[in-house]
Structure formats: C-alpha cells, structure tokens
Structure 1
C-alpha cells in the first residue's frame, strides 16, 4: 500500500521547530524559546497554578497550540513521536513556574514511557530547586488491558485535550483561588473518569521518510482493512477485515467504552442515566465532512439515555495524517467532589489558544430541552403557479416530454463516458437524476397530472423537480432557464409557436445570460440551446431549429473549452480514441432532450 505523501523539505530539517516558529509568528499572545522548543504564555497572573504540558511532535494541535488564556501556560515539544528532554522541560518550569507559597505547577503528561521518565525527572529536579510541582499522567485508552501492559498501563489519547481544557480553565478561575492540590485533584478525577478508543483506515506516515523506507512501508494497513484501538504512535490495534460498516464499528467501539463484561478493560462505570461529555476527535486525516457524518452516526448510536452535556468535535490529539477518529466519554456523574456545572464552565470558558477550535456557547443553549430543528417553510403540497393558458397536455407533457426524457436516459452512458474524459464525470448522472424525477412525477404525482394542460403550472413543477434532483452546473443552468421560462409564459395571452419562441428567447437572453458568461463557441450546453432558440425565433420551424441545435452540439468537438473543468483539460484529452473528437457532454444531453421531444410530435 502506498504511504501518505509529504512535501519535500531540506534534509534533516527539524519540522517540529519549524512548526513552532510559524505558530509563534502567527500568535502574538505567546512567546517561543526556540532552543528549547518551549511555547509559553507571557501573561503574569498572581496566585495562579501554572499548567505545563508537552510531549513528542506529530500530535498537533496538542500541545503547543493549546497555550493560551484559560488553557495551558506552557508546552514543551520533542521530536516527532519522541519525548522532550529534561533540560527542555526545566526551561519551561523556570520560565512560567513560581516558588511562591500558594502557587504551584501542574505538569500534565501523556502516559508513555519516555514522557513519564523525562517529565518525572524534571519534576523531581524542580522540587529540589524549590518549586511546588505535581505530575498528572493522562490514561484514557480502553484498548490496552490491565494484563497487556502492567508496567506502563493505559495510554493517553484524545482525553488529554479535555484534561488540558478543564484544569486550564480551573487554574484560571479567579473566583475560586484553587491551589495546586485542588487542581491536581480535579485533574486526577477527570482522568479517572475518561474513556477513549480510536479507529483508523490506515497508520500514519512520518514526514521525512520515503516510500522506500521498509519500516514505514510495513506499517501501512492492507487497502481492505481498518484498525481498532490503535495508538497515536502507530502502535498496532485490532485489525478489521474487511472495513466494517460504520454502524457496526460504532457498536463495537461503544461496547469497549461502556461494557462492564470485559474486566480487563473496564475502567469507568457508566449508568444508563449518567451525565457525560462527548468528544469526537479527528486523528489527523479525516475530512471535516466525513468527521461530522461520523459524529452524527455516533450521536445516533450512543447507548445512554441522556444526550451529552457537551459535544466537542475537532482535531484535538492527532497522529499526523492518520485517517481515523476516536471517541472520548467523560462521566460527569461520577465526579462528586467538584460541581458538574463548574466543570462544564471550564470547558466552555473562551480561550485564545489557536488549537482549541470548539466554539463557546451559552450554557443555557446546551441545557435547552428538545432539539434545534425546524420544519421547512416550503411545503411539498403547495399548489403550483397556474395560468389561464391551455394546451394539449397529454401530447406536449405526456407523450413528448416522456419521449424527450427517455431519449436522454438512453444517451446517458455516452454522456457519462464523455464527461469522464473532459469533465467531472457526473454530467450524465445529474441529467439522469432530473429525468427520472420528472418521469416519476408524470406517473404518480396526481397534482402534476391534473395540471398537464396548463404549461405554466406544469413547468413550475418541473422546475422544482430539477432544482431538487439535479446538482452541479447543469442543474443550475436548467433551473435558471426554466424559472425564467415560467415567468415569461405567465405573460402570454395565448400559446403559439410565435409566442412560445419569444418566451424561449427572453428566457435565454434576459434570464439565463444574466447569470452565466457562457455563449455559443464556449463549448457548453449553450452551443445547443442558443442556435435552437435563435433559429426557432427566426423561422418558427421546429425541424430547422433542431438541425441548428445538432450543428451547434457537433461543433463543440472542435471548440476550446472556456468554462468549467473542461477549460483545464489538455487538448489531447478531447480525443475519444482514433480521430474521434469528444463533444461537450452538456450539449449532447440537451440535444437528446430536444431531439426526443420534437421527433415525438411528428
């Protein structure tokens, strides 16, 4: 399997240091000690417990981007997936720590061997120098059992971000005057009620390693596999073959998070009616769109009776570009030594730390009963726009329209083939979606059938169907043109080839052309539409107009595209094998509609 690609940098460049330089330059509220890779908040507050954290790079925005007001005070960065040195950590303690009575320093550290050793040693040296220091290891992973790793214990995952935010908010709460013992106690209570598990479609790839690097190549998963319970340093989890449906995956994940049956991995008790916080973390390579789709599936799948008190969705603790996500639950009901509303307030309190992306909302909004969904003000059963115009509806909108749409569907594979060569590949499917939607309405929509004799009413319904079923550029062009046509038909006193051709012309020149610069010669559906309309207006002859449309459509094979994706395609791509030239797919689709319609009238 091909590993993730990265941009090329200078050989042996320290990417973590470079990242910190940009972070400091783009954030005027912090300062950087480049030699020690320490980011810190220079704001001095009296009687404040200082919160320091850090660890290896590759987990951004953790830790450096969490430095800011109401979050952590300093972060120390090691190399990618490697703990910082004791010297670096001591630099952070000396820069922001205090030896004054009543103040102190809480060091939040992820529970990995290197981090525990280096931060632990720094804490002991700091104590020897007169600093009041406590160490808080985060251990929220449920994938690692008690028997599996007795020496190190549970790993730290995305729950680390919640610990940061809560102890950071509490340490900055001016109305509480918490001392170090209070903040450490709160942090330990939060940690002991956190559970996290992650899943990913692949491992991460480290910048600076090439595809020829055998070690990195071996770490990638099979294309048909996923992984459950992986670590954030490419530690392996449970391989899943094939990739499971998201609902099945989430069921397994919640079983591991909440079930009490697995005594080796049951760390936090959850009762059905407990209050809790839900954090959904992008491990690095999941798109925002898919992350929120996964979030909705998670919210649908939670086997707890109450909705979360807070829902936090973002990239909190990553593993470079790993295409995965993790679920973290914090059980608030188990924490009785601190008020639940205070803990939520520490999550909610705003921060200028650039890495904390969830927005802050009034707690009253979170506590509001019910959901926040409204019904559409547009009703499906609304009566269509009507007119006094009358036509033979069975001929023009029954037989002829049906013939036009069926002819389009027959041409769809060819249109799709053309569009895969010179477009986005979706033109045929988009047109087919519109055609099928209208055909379905012709067969089953009684209101539609009742208004076939009224061209304004019928076209207004068709316009709505096109808007709902067709996307992309084609859908927009068809919708605008049909909307303008309905408006122009409403102005008519009678229906004739003269009046209708005039309405078609006005809809093109005074309607559609206001919203697109496409004209004949631009290699678009306009190369079919404009000649058809112009010829019909001039000669009032449907067959002549059809021939003009064919000529315009065929000419697109020789035209240079001026609009859309086709305008970026190399000239050689417009050859369909041999000497055949590919016409514009949109023009072909419109011609199929016009041809099917007019031929059925003969």
Structure 2
C-alpha cells in the first residue's frame, strides 16, 4: 500500500462543486445550477432542437461538464466522485433544458447507478409529458458476456463519440427524437474500447488515502475508470507488443465471450486514443503512432482523434477505441457513415472536445502526409584538400572509442551537476559516426577529403545530439569546415588557423561561454589557442587537460550546473565539468 499525494483542500470542501465553479468561470458560454451540480448551455433553444443531457460520477473530466456547448450537450449532471447523481439533480437538468415538443435524449455510461438513476428520471419525466429516450454506452471489451450477465459491459471512452455524434445530430432542424436515439444505439453497438494503465488512480480531496498501486514492473490491462481491476501483466511489455495484444482483443472474433463488433478488412472506421488522465501529450501522440503502425486492418482510419476524452484522475494509462462505420451503413438506421463523420467534424465551443474540428474535405485527403526533407538530397560539400584516409579513420575511431569508454564517468558527473544526459548525448554522437564508418559507403569514400568528411560528421552530430552540447559541437564544426575550405593545403599551421577562426569568429559569436565559465570551452579554448600559438599538438593537448582539470575549482556560469550550490560541488571533492571531460577524452583519443 502506498500513500497517494494530492493538494490539500479545505476541510469539508465539496471539491466536485469547486471544480465545476472553476469550469464555469473559465467558460463564459455555460451556466451552473450549483445546488444540483448541473452545467447547462443557456443559449441552446431546445424548443427547436432535441435536448441532449448526460452525466454521471465526477472524476472523468472533461466528461461530463466539459462537453456542454454548441453541437454537443445541452446539460450535464455531476454526482460525487465515482458516484451517480441523484434523481433530484437529474430532474433539475430535465426541467431546466428539456422541451416537451422536440424531446430529450439522455446519454449515460452503462454502470448500475447511472442507468438506475437516469432511467428512473426518464420514466418520471415521461409521466409529466416529456418525450425521453435513453442511450446507455457500453463499449468496454474487457468485460465478457459470462462475467457480468446482469449489468453488461462498461461505458468508457466511446462515450465521448456518442456525445459528439448525438450532440451535432440533435441540432439539425429536421432531426427526430427516435431517429437520433436510434443513431446513438447504432454507434454504441459498433464501439469497442480497451484500456491499459501503468497504475491505479487516486482521488484528490481524500487525506491519507492508501492505494494499492501496481509494482514498478507491472501494467494493468482492461481496468475500469473507477479503479476496477484488470489483468496485471508482468514485466511491462514493449509498447508494440502491448498494443498488438489490445488490438487483437478489440478485433479478433476468436474470443466469443468478448467479441462484440465484427470488423472486416475493408471496413471504414474511426480511431480514438484516449488519455486516461496521467499520460503526457508527448507519450499520447507517440502511443497513437504505435497504434497506427500496428493496426491489422487494410484501410487507414477515416478519423484519428487523440485527447483526454474520458479520464480517471491521474491514472497513467491510455485506451484505444474503434468505431466501425461500415456496420452502421449496413444497418440502414436512417443515418450514414458520412453523416457520422460530418457530426464528428461539426465545430463546437465545448472546452472538453479538444480535437480540432477540421472540415470533412480535409480529412478526405488520405495521401501520406510525411514528406522527405529538402535537405535529403543536398549536394555534399567537397574540396581539393587531401589527407591520409586510413590514418584519419584510425585516429577518429580512437577518439570516439575513448569518449565512449569515459561515458559512464561523464554521466555520473552530470547526474551530480546537471540533468544526467551529457554522457548519453556525447555517446549518441560518437556512435552515429562509428556507425557511418562501418556502414556508410558514401562517408568512407570521402575520408581523404577533410572538408567532405567534417561536413558529414557535422550532419551526424546535428541529427544525433541534442541539447546545448550538440549545438556547440555543430556550430564549431560548421565554422571549421568553412575555414578549412579556403585553405590551400593541410598542415599544422592551416589546421591551427582553421581551429582558431572556427572558435573565435564562429562559435564565440553565438555563446558567451569562455575560459572560466565551467563548460566544455574550458577544454576547447586552451587547446585551440595553444595550438595556434605553438603549432605543437602535444602542448595543446596538455593545455586542454589542465583547462578541464581546473573546472573542478570553478563556479558554473552557464547551463543547469549554474543552479547547483557551489558548496555541494565542494562537498563532493570537486566535480569537473562533464562536457569538458567528454571533449578532453575525444581530443586525447584522437591525438594518441
């Protein structure tokens, strides 16, 4: 059991109401019935359109209040966290927004409390003269038919698709209640969703709550959005393997207990990738690409929707939802797959619907939108200068291998004074060049031309090394190439001059780092200046070594090390700058 951490709220504060007030404060388009926790759109004229109302327990935001807006929900009712709202709350939403002429559709997730409470209100409203249809969303494939015969499968991220389709359909002038409700049932019957998460969720506002989190090497498949358990997988599989397993469960007809929707290879479908709450946007888009690469269906999805649609607080997971459009066409429910796509594309000002509403014609362009870089076929910069290719290759390998040997030490230093990635960054650059020496015939072909060779090395560095050090190496090498290109021969004097000009007229234009700033320049500048002054390579290497050693005694002026207390460095016995150590290893290896 682990103690979950959240912000500390006021004692006895109704945190659900607090967040609803915050939602309304940030959305001038909606109003709030605070006593009943009902968010509604005061601008929708439900005497002329079908009313669409939804709701359920809090904790799944932006569901439900975040979906109130034009062409989406007219009202949303919030219960307490993971608990259905009361019939009184739901009836308040009906009376506030429903009109007896056009009728009302209630959309709920298929959980016992929601279906009972919203269903009871639907019947009461009918007895008062309202026309009401209820659509229960049940898209989860983790729940088998035999596992829960009484309740059926749960409503998950597919709920957002039902909201969006019915919200836009209900706003059309000629829309009829039974037909729109039938569309909702048809969409639901062709939805499948499966969730995976690295861990459980925890609830804010509960002090000292204990959560049985998963082990560090576990992932959970098929879990619910209220901490209902799934199947634990140990160790955590590679993402591609996990996604293949999820897609197999979503699409395969072999498991009769959990096979709910038929998919043929030529079917049109919508893909929705949902953030359950604690997944970063960075990873969510990476996950989406892995899903697309592993989809076994012949056609690409007609729409790809990625966002936090139906969440569970901070659960670090995602779910995959597929909506089979072709099946709906086969059923002839009065609406076609093109209608559904049009409803999904209809713009809305509801803040919870975050996918951009692109025009349908933009989605219809199915060509590959990934293009080759204009840099791909750039002509190689060459010169008439000549060096001993074999000797240069040996020295280059020696320098790179020496750098890789020092990488663990550099990484250790950087974990103490930086963000820990300096060694990895340098190793990435070194390995990219070594790989080219082994596999790239174009690169090896030009080793006798220092301009061509350094130009290609600069490209390898730019492609493989990020961060400040990658930028510094790239700028210096680019300037070095420019100054070597005008040389008439290669000897100590011309190389020394090229190094000096690359540093003082090139790199120093773009950084204020100088000797004494505790950076790789403390190695580079003594090497370059000494070589320029003496034309003696051994003296230049010794000057570089001394400059690097001196960084133990310097206070950082640049980079993340500048935020580290000098006393911490002194307590460690003096830590040299990791970048300076890396460059020294490269120089010493190259000049052996």
Superposed pair shares fold, TM > 0.5: yes
Shift in Å, 1:39: 1.2
Query: Does 1:548 find its partner at 2:543?
Result: yes
Shift in Å, 1:576: 7.4
Matches within 5 A, 1:394-543: 394-395=390-391, 397-543=392-538
Q: Distance in 2 between matches of 1:418 and 1:125?
A: 70
Q: Which runs of 5+ in 2 are unaligned?
A: none
One of 366, 376, 385 as aligned partner of 1:389: 385
Equivalent position SS for 1:582:
coil
Query: Does 1:164 find its partner at 2:159?
Result: no
1:226-280 Cα distance to aligned partner (Å, 9 max, x none)? 2222111111122223323333333332333233333332322323322221111
TM (normalized to structure 1)?
0.92
Moved more, 349-358 or 80-89: 80-89
Equivalent position SS for 2:180:
helix
Partner of 1:328: 321
Matches within 5 A, 1:179-190: 179-190=176-187
Q: Distance in 2 between matches of 1:506 and 1:329?
A: 59
One of 560, 566, 585 as aligned partner of 1:565: 560
1:452-474 Cα distance to aligned partner (Å, 9 max, x none)? 33322221122112112222221
1:75-131 Cα distance to aligned partner (Å, 9 max, x none)? 1111111111222222222221113x2x11111111112212222222233233332
Moved more, 517-526 or 485-494: 485-494
Residue 445 to residue 163, structure 1, CA distance change in 2 (3 Å): closer
Matches within 5 A, 1:9-28: 9-28=9-28
Partner of 1:42: 42
Q: Distance in 2 between matches of 1:521 and 1:9?
A: 48
Q: Distance in 2 between matches of 1:82 and 1:232?
A: 12
Partner of 1:65: 66
Partner of 2:190: 193
Moved more, 414-423 or 159-168: 414-423
Partner of 2:2: 2
Residue 43 to residue 425, structure 1, CA distance change in 2 (3 Å): same
Equivalent position SS for 1:435:
helix
Moved more, 285-294 or 68-77: 285-294
**In 1, are the aligned partners of 2:44 and 2:74 still within 8 Å (CA)?**
no
**In 1, are the aligned partners of 2:522 and 2:548 still within 8 Å (CA)?**
yes
1:260-318 Cα distance to aligned partner (Å, 9 max, x none)? 33333232232332222111111111222222222222222323222222111111101
Shift in Å, 1:59: 0.2
1:193-236 Cα distance to aligned partner (Å, 9 max, x none)? 212121222111111334x53xx423x22333222221111111
Partner of 2:586: 593
Shift in Å, 1:393: 4.5
Moved more, 277-286 or 56-65: 277-286
Equivalent position SS for 1:333:
helix
Moved more, 548-557 or 4-13: 4-13
Equivalent position SS for 1:420:
helix
Shift in Å, 1:339: 1.5
One of 191, 205, 226 as aligned partner of 2:219: 226
**In 2, are the aligned partners of 1:4 and 1:204 still within 8 Å (CA)?**
no
Q: Distance in 2 between matches of 1:59 and 1:15?
A: 14
Shift in Å, 1:357: 1.1
Q: Distance in 2 between matches of 1:444 and 1:161?
A: 49
Partner of 1:312: 305
Shift in Å, 1:444: 4.8
Partner of 1:285: 278
Partner of 2:241: 248
Q: Distance in 2 between matches of 1:33 and 1:112?
A: 24
**In 1, are the aligned partners of 2:33 and 2:39 still within 8 Å (CA)?**
yes
Task: Report runs of 4+ in structure 1 exceeding 6 Å deviation.
Answer: none
Partner of 2:338: 341
Equivalent position SS for 1:207:
coil
Q: Distance in 1 between matches of 2:493 and 2:294?
A: 61
- How many residue pairs get aligned? The number is 587
Shift in Å, 1:4: 4.5
Residue 510 to residue 173, structure 1, CA distance change in 2 (3 Å): farther
Partner of 1:217: 211
Partner of 2:200: 203
Q: Distance in 1 between matches of 2:489 and 2:297?
A: 64
Q: Which runs of 5+ in 1 are unaligned?
A: none
Shift in Å, 1:332: 1.5
Q: Distance in 1 between matches of 2:7 and 2:315?
A: 16
Q: Distance in 2 between matches of 1:200 and 1:568?
A: 35
Shift in Å, 1:572: 4.4
**In 2, are the aligned partners of 1:387 and 1:457 still within 8 Å (CA)?**
yes
